[in-house]
Structure formats: C-alpha cells, structure tokens
A = this chain, B = another copy of it.
Amino acid sequence: MPNGVCTMNSNFSQLIKDGRYIGMSLDGVDGDTVWQLYVFMQRLRLLENAIAALYSEQQMRCPVHFCDGQEAISAGLALAIRDSDHLFSHHRTHGFYLAKCREFKPLIDEIYGRISGASGGVAGSQDISYCEMNFHGGAILAGSIGIAAGVARAMQIKNIPALAFAGFGDGAVDEGVFWETVNYAALQKLPLVLVCENNGYSAFSPQNKRQAVMDISAKVRAFGMQAHSFFGNDAVESHRVISQAVGAVRRGEGPVFLEGHTFRWSGHVGPEGDDQYQYRSMQELAFWKDNCPIKLLEEKMLEEGLVKQQAIDDLVRQIGQELDQAFAEAKQSPFPEPVDWHAMNYATQTPKADELLAEEKSSGFDQNQDLAIPGPY
C-alpha cells in the first residue's frame, strides 16, 4: 500500500498486493446479485459524471458533493434496504439517495431547483429529501444520525417491522452527538443501522489529524454496539457484510455500525477538483483509482464469465440514454411558483387538535397570589 494511504486501518493490508486489492471473491453470491451491484454502481457513476459534465452550464445552482469511487458501499446498501425502511443521508447524498429511491428523476429535478424535484426545489443536492420514499438528506454533519435513532425508537415502540439507516462519513464521527447516538442505540437495542463511508477525509482534513484512534469500529464496540468494517471498494464484500448485518438487526439483535473504507476521487465539493490544495497525495488517489469499485467488479465478472462485455456496453448505453432524457426533462421542468412563506414554515391546519380538543373560556385569573421562589432545585 502506498505511503499516505491513511484512510485504511491495517486490518486490510493483507488484502492488498502490489497496490491491487486481491480480496474479491464471488463465493456464495449469485450472478443476479452481482449484476445488480454492478448496475447500481454504473448508474451512480454515470449519473455523477453527467452532473459533473453539465454543472458548468450553471443551471444546477446548488453545492454538489460527488461520491465517485465510493459506489460499492451504497451498492451493498441498495440490496439490503427495503421501501419501508428509512434512510438518512449526510451532504454527500447521491449514493444514499439512489440506494433508497432508485429513480434518477426526482434527484436531478431537485438539483435543477424544479418543482418536480424530490423536495420541490427547496433543498437541492445536499439537503434533498424524498419523503414518499422515506429518504432524508441534510448538510449539517451528524445531526441526522440522531434523527435516524429516533425513527428506530418509534419503530420499536410501535412494533413496526422496519429499520432506520443513517449514512455518513468519518467526519461525522468527530461530533459528540454521534457518540450520544451510539450509546443510546446500544442501550435501547434500536433497530438502527449506521453506515459509515470512511473515505479518510473530512473535506481536506485526514482522519488521523482529527481522531486519536483510527479504528472507528473498535470505539463503537466499546460502547456496546456491534460493528464491522470492510474494504469499501469491494461491492460484493460490501453486500455480504451489509446484508448479513442488516439481517441480524431485522431479527432484533440490536443496532449495528458498518464501516466501509473507501476514497472519493472528486474534490470535496463541486466538479472542479481541489487537488491544487495538495491535501492528499496523488499516489494515494492513484491507488484508489486503480482499485475502482466498478473496475474491480467488472474484471471479476468477466474473469468468471458471469457476463459478456457486450452486456456491459449495452448497460452503459442504456443508462446514458436514461440520463440524457432525465436531464432534458429536468431542464424543461417548471420552477417553483411564488410561495407563501408562512405556509412553507408552519402548518395551516390542526386536524388532530380539532378532533380532540374543546374550546373553553378562562374564568379569569386571580392575581392575588404570590409567585413561588424555587428552593434548592
């Protein structure tokens, strides 16, 4: 492994030989599943490539965080998550969005700020929600992890057979509220799955500059929560670890923390790149590009004869067409109408209160009473 590959804890060093990941195996995973993983990753990659290519047209007027190079983790997640589950994402939403919502259109329209976007154009890439699909994004680190815990708690109380997921990065782990959440989830044995895309950096700041102990999973375990880490560019392993762990959570075995070690190729935000700031080594980037999750899986599939090159080419073409159409439609989609600010921020109806509560008149307050002075507490 090259110097400066600080994003990985040593657990994985034996899986790397001469700069190449050698741990991939399709054992116990059927061809259809492998193909689904592959399709997911290609869809995500091509979606982001298209956003990046068109961004300079200045029609997508919101901050956009790309996850190219990290596709294998959300691919594994996509296969394990169900419609009735809830998923909360940090700012880098595209992979998590696609894992939960599958369709391109509500995301693309949202990025274009159109009324047909998942959030009606009020949120954009970093804050997008798609309520109908139980997907919620947000750009303040760690905050929504606790929200996911609350969803899990409600599921537990109401006996809802579903799980809450939260997707985030190694940066969110710096925040204290993350540890409040881990403690509480372990304490209450919540049906909660925490998915950490550990790409080794919070913006430019490497993990070892922010955390004294690199092994996040070990810290989580000390709080009483199950935790598994895996080489995050291996989509099959990602699928294996995630689906197994999620299965255990579904069986009521309590919450789990899953940590995929991966790397983002693009700059932290936007399509322009930020390597001029030299916060990471080109060697490190090269290592991870050499171990592209899509390429690793593609080579394996071809090697094992699971798929023909032709099928891949067809897939790529077909996704390209789908994207072309989605972007064309998005650009034609109407912008939101002038809004009533108050109605955007407050409910206009109170159906429950109307149903349950009577109107009463106060009989008038007797002011000749002394205020209490609280005692010692």
Residues of chain A whose beta carbon lies under 8 Å from any beta carbon of chain B: 55, 62-64, 174-180, 183, 186-187, 210-213, 218-219, 221-225, 268-270, 272, 375-377
Asked, given contacts A63-B376, A180-B175, whether A222 binds B222 with beta carbons under 8 Å apart, the answer is: yes
Name A60's closest neighbour in chain B (CB-CB): B376
Q: Which residues of B contact A175 (CB under 8 A)?
A: 176, 180
Q: Is the interface of A mostly helix, strand, loop or mixed?
A: loop
Asked, given contacts A64-B376, A176-B175, A177-B176, whether A222 binds B212 with beta carbons under 8 Å apart, the answer is: no
Q: How far is the CA of A63 from the CA of B55 in the complex (A)?
A: 60
Between A178, A179, A180, A219, the greatest number of chain B beta carbons within 10 A of the residue's beta carbon is seen for A179
Choose among B176, B178, B270 the residue that contacts A178 (Cβ–Cβ < 8 A): B176
Q: Which residues of B contact A174 (CB under 8 A)?
A: 180, 183
Q: Which residues of B contact A210 (CB under 8 A)?
A: 187
State whether B219 touches A212 (Cβ < 8 A): no
Minimum distance in angstroms from A235 CB to a CB of chain B = 28
Instruction: Give 16 A-B contacts (CB < 8 Å), ordered by A residue.
Output: A55-B376, A63-B377, A64-B376, A174-B180, A174-B183, A176-B178, A179-B179, A186-B212, A186-B213, A187-B212, A222-B222, A269-B376, A269-B377, A270-B375, A270-B377, A272-B376
Q: Which residues of B contact A269 (CB under 8 A)?
A: 376-377
Minimum distance in angstroms from A191 CB to a CB of chain B = 15
Name A64's closest neighbour in chain B (CB-CB): B376
Q: Which residues of B contact A187 (CB under 8 A)?
A: 210-212
Q: Which residues of B contact A211 (CB under 8 A)?
A: 183, 187
Q: How far is the CA of A350 from the CA of B213 in the complex (A)?
A: 42
Q: How far is the CA of A187 from the CA of B270 in the complex (A)?
A: 31
State whether A222 touches B224 (Cβ < 8 A): no
Q: How far is the CA of A272 from the CA of B375 in the complex (A)?
A: 11
